[in-house]
Amino acid sequence: LLEQVAEFEKTDFKANSKVNQESSKPKLAPLNEGGVSELLQKEISRLKEDNDKLKARLRTLESQAMSALDDKSKAERALKDLQKSQGDQQEIANLEGTVAEMQKDLQDSLVSAKHDLLRVNVFDESYHVYLSIKELEKKFQQTAAYRNMKEITKNLPLVSIKYIYEFVALYSLLRYESDE
C-alpha cells in the first residue's frame, strides 16, 4: 500500500511539474468561440473533477497508511511489553526458587545452631555438676568422718579402699542433695 502511494505521488509530482511548466507558457487566444473551445472547457472541468477525486482518494489512502503505521507501532510496543513481562515472570520464578533455597539453608542453620546450643548447655551443666562434686569432695575431706574413714582404710586392703571411696562419694552426693 505504501509503495502504491509512493508511486502515485511520483506520477502526481511529474504531472504537477508538467502543469506548472505549461501554465508558465503563453497561451494562444481561441480563434472562434465555437464548439471546440466549449468541448475543451468541458474536458478541462472533467479532468479537474477527476483530479480532485484522485486527490481526495490520495488523502484517504494516506490517512489509512498512517493509521496502519500507528497500529503496527502499537502492536510492536505491545509485543515488546509482553516479552518484557514474560522475562519479569521468569525472573520472579528464579527469585522465588532462590528464596526457597535460602529459607531451607536458614532452617538447616537454625537446627544446627540449636543442636550446638544444646551441646554447649549439656557441657556447661555437666561441668557445673563436676565442679559441684569436686567442691563436695573437698568439703567432705575436711570433716571428721573422712579422717576416721582414712584411718580405717589404712588397715584394709586396696580393694576395700575403692569400695569405701565410692561409698563416701555417694554419701557426700546424698548429703549435698538433702542440703538443697
How many structural domains does the chain have? 1
The pLDDT, as a whole number, for residue 32 is 55
Please provide the DSSP assignment of 98-116 as one string. Answer: HHHHHHHHHHHHHHHHHHH
Task: Write out pLDDT tens, residues 51-96.
Answer: 999 999 999 999 999 999 999 999 999 998 888 888 777 887 888 8
Question: Looking at the predicted structure, is the pLDDT value of residue 24 above 80?
Answer: no
151 located within any domain: yes
- pLDDT tier for residue 2 given thresholds of 50, 70 and 90: confident
Range of the domain at 158: 143-180
136 located within any domain: no
Instruction: Report residue 62 as a C-alpha cell.
Output: 494516506
Question: Looking at the predicted structure, is the pLDDT value of residue 132 above 60?
Answer: yes
Cβ(136)–Cβ(176) below 8 Å: yes
The pLDDT, as a whole number, for residue 1 is 75
Summarize the chain as % helix, strand, coil (round to 5).
Answer: 90, 0, 10
Residue 172, number of CB atoms within 10 A of its CB: 21
107 located within any domain: no
176 located within any domain: yes
Task: Write out pLDDT tens, residues 25-51.
Answer: 555 555 555 556 777 788 889 999 999
163 located within any domain: yes
DSSP 27: P
Question: Looking at the predicted structure, is the pLDDT value of residue 109 above 60?
Answer: yes
- pLDDT tier for residue 153 given thresholds of 50, 70 and 90: low
Please provide the DSSP assignment of the chain as one string. Answer: -HHHHHHHHHHHHHHHHHHHHHHHSPPPPPS--SHHHHHHHHHHHHHHHHHHHHHHHHHHHHHHHHHHHHHHHHHHHHHHHHHHHHHHHHHHHHHHHHHHHHHHHHHHHHHHHHHHHHHHHHHHHHHHHHHHHHHHHHHHHTSHHHHHHHHHHHHS-HHHHHHHHHHHHHHHHHHHHHH-
30-58 CB burial, b ≥16 within 10 A, e <16:
eeeeeeeeeeeeeeeeeeeeeeeeeeeee
pTM: 0.33
The pLDDT, as a whole number, for residue 58 is 92
51 located within any domain: no
Q: Which of 14-28, 98-112, 157-171 has the highest mean pLDDT?
A: 98-112
